[in-house]
Structure 1
């Protein structure tokens, strides 16, 4: 089973980037004990004042999908929606790198 990764580009409504970042950082903190979520980083664009990027790595696409079905996740999404002007997800298959652990079995 392959790991699942995603870059999600969030465009916040004007002036709402910091509030959106705070909600996304709450989501990151909530994911801390979830073993299937291996990486969840909120990034602020240096050059675009309304843009945030979220970098995620999950043990599998199924684990990511299951996380989206959780009541706490759905509640966080509902809180964030009024602050979001757009989202552009880019799904990935992580191949490896510093900080990313792969088991010895074939991925």
Structure 2
């Protein structure tokens, strides 16, 4: 009986080791798949998904920032600041137009 028990426990340990190795191999493959970049995404600038969203949806992003600025700073100040900036843009455009002619 004593000779059978060690062989069973050894085969059991060998089987357990094989199962554990298979699990670890599968887990490593899964991690490698998650860490490799997606092939369908172009390798252009910007690479991060956040920056792609910000650059491709600039209107949405600017309206969100404008809303946040209105809430944080105050509506009157933000409106006067945006009016001042638009007036400065018009003055620059007129000055640039006069410089050309």
Higher helix share: 2
How high is the TM-score relative to the length of structure 1? 0.23
Higher strand share: 1
**Higher RCO (CA-CA < 8 Å; seq separation 6+):** 1
